Structure 1
Amino acid sequence: MSNPDSFIEEVTEEVRRDRLFGLFRKYGWIGGVLVVAVVGGAAWTEWSKSRAEARAEAFGDAIIDALDQGTPEERRAALSAIPTDGEQAALLQLILASDPDEDRAATLAALDVVVANTTLSPGYRDLAVLRRVLVAGADTPLADRRTALQSIAVPGRPYRALAEEMLAYLLIEEGKNDEAIAAMTTLMQDQEASGALRARLGQMVVALGGTVPQSTSG
């Protein structure tokens, strides 16, 4: 016969297993919900991040297109027509507050407010950096403009490609056309470069005497 202590241990272990399986049948769904919540939460975070970046990029493209309009009146009308919500509305109002053709100092001051406002998303502040470099132009030392652009021309930033484009233009300003052509042709093959950006770069490369990459010439 089996040792009584061993027999008791076996019975106790069976009871433990029965209780464990019973608890699992009763509460096991909680673990499943937790797994779904974790996986779903990660997917939601990635989707939200991607959506926010796409939204910021579309907003920035709309502003740049509006600022390409000919007269101050046309620019204000185009800017006012851009749909906004939340932080975008605040940034757009600052850009609408003045026009460099009418009051350049006020425009730069408004953009400085945006750049310094850490409560805004980096995408909006990056857009203000781009706009400020364009408005200030040669009145700001080239080295300062390069530093400002390099701070937003890093992977993961929403306007990296536009900042890289403007950095290439600074090379032209310095008379370094060969370096500018090399930078532009590289950017034209960047997956983050939009069609409009590639078109602009292609025209500039040709104007400088360079050759447009075959993969982007069509």
Structure 2
Amino acid sequence: MSDTDSFIDEVNDEVRRDRLFALLKRYGWIGALAVVLIVGGAAWSEYRKATARAEAEALGDGMLAALSTNTPDARLDALTGLSSENPTAQALVAMLTASEAQRAGDVEKAVTELNAVAINPDVDEIYRQIAGFKALTLQAETLDAATRRQQFEALAAPGSPLRLLAVEQLALIDVAEGNTDAAIGRYQDILQDAAVTSDLQQRALQVIVALGGTPDLDNLPISGN
């Protein structure tokens, strides 16, 4: 390579460096801002995770402390003072509160807590259904049969995780209304369902016999629970 070529290359390198420095001076703040945002975002994410963990631990400790008290009234008071910004965690607190309210004889409060969970769209569907189901069972003596039937039929829809338990409740409403044949038919359907548990299967058999029916024992599913 000639001295002239070397000189030209050095000049070109110098020009490129000058251009690079000029660009850095003009737009370097963008890169700095990007670094700040990345680091700040990571720090904020870690802060939120740490805060969520601390809240969950505090809530768990509070729930354990509440449940360790000696009486339903004391447990109820302790649970009533707990809260969480997490919808699922708050639903669990509400359901525990409802359980203790029931034990303390305050069925109205139990139903209120459960219904609050059942209608909360931010809570997972399974918790909403469990809460709604429990609230209905607690209102067997205070809510009219037509309303309970309508709501249990919704819970008995295909694909519902509480379907068979809801069908059982519908059968109990049939029994209370004197519609024995309909009740036996529902219990027969429960017996033949592949998802039936051993406990529910046994209850269905017993009630069918008690109602004067004959259980259809052909091709009964084998229950694993």
Q: What amino acid sits opposite 1:201 in the alignment?
A: A
Q: Conserved in 1, the CA contact under 8 Å of 2:194 and 2:221?
A: no
Residue 91 of structure 1: CA displacement?
3.1
Runs of 5+ unmatched residues, structure 1:
1-71, 77-85
Which residue does 1:128 correspond to in 2? 131
Partner of 1:92: 92
Rounded to whole Å, the distance in 1 between the matches of 2:197 and 2:221 is 14
Indicate conservation of the 8 Å contact 1:184/1:201, yes or no: yes
Deviation at 1:87, TM superposition (A): 6.3
Q: Please give the alpha-carbon distance, in whole angstroms, between the structure 1 residues aligned to 2:171 and 2:87.
A: 30
Give percent identity, aligned residues only.
29
1:129/1:149 contact within 8 Å kept = no
Q: Which amino acid aligns with 2:93?
A: Q
CA offsets per residue over residues 11-32 of structure 1, 9 Å max, x none? xxxxxxxxxxxxxxxxxxxxxx
Between 1 and 2, higher relative CO (CA 8 Å, sep ≥ 6) is seen in: 1
Q: Distance in 1 between matches of 2:87 and 2:203?
A: 29
Q: Would you say the 8 A contact 1:115–1:128 is kept in 2?
A: yes
Map of 1:151 onto structure 2: 154
**Structure ID, larger Rg:** 2
CA distance in structure 2 between the partners assigned to 1:90 and 1:205 by the alignment: 40
Unaligned runs of 5+ in 2: 1-70, 76-85
Residues 161 and 88 from structure 1, CA distance in 2 versus in 1: closer, same or farther, beyond 3 angstroms?
A: farther
Cα deviation, 1:138-196, whole Å, max 9, x if unaligned, reads 21000000111111111111111111111111100110011100111111101121111
Aligned-partner Cα distance in 1 for 2:191–2:92: 29
8 Å contact kept, 1:181–1:205: yes
Q: Which amino acid aligns with 1:170?
A: I
Q: Give the residue type in structure 2 aligned to 1:107.
A: A
Q: Deviations over 1:34-75 (max 9, x none)?
A: xxxxxxxxxxxxxxxxxxxxxxxxxxxxxxxxxxxxxx86xx
Give the number of aligned pairs.
137
User: Alpha carbon RMSD of aligned pairs, Å?
Assistant: 2.4
Structure 1 outlier segments of 4+, above 6 Å: none
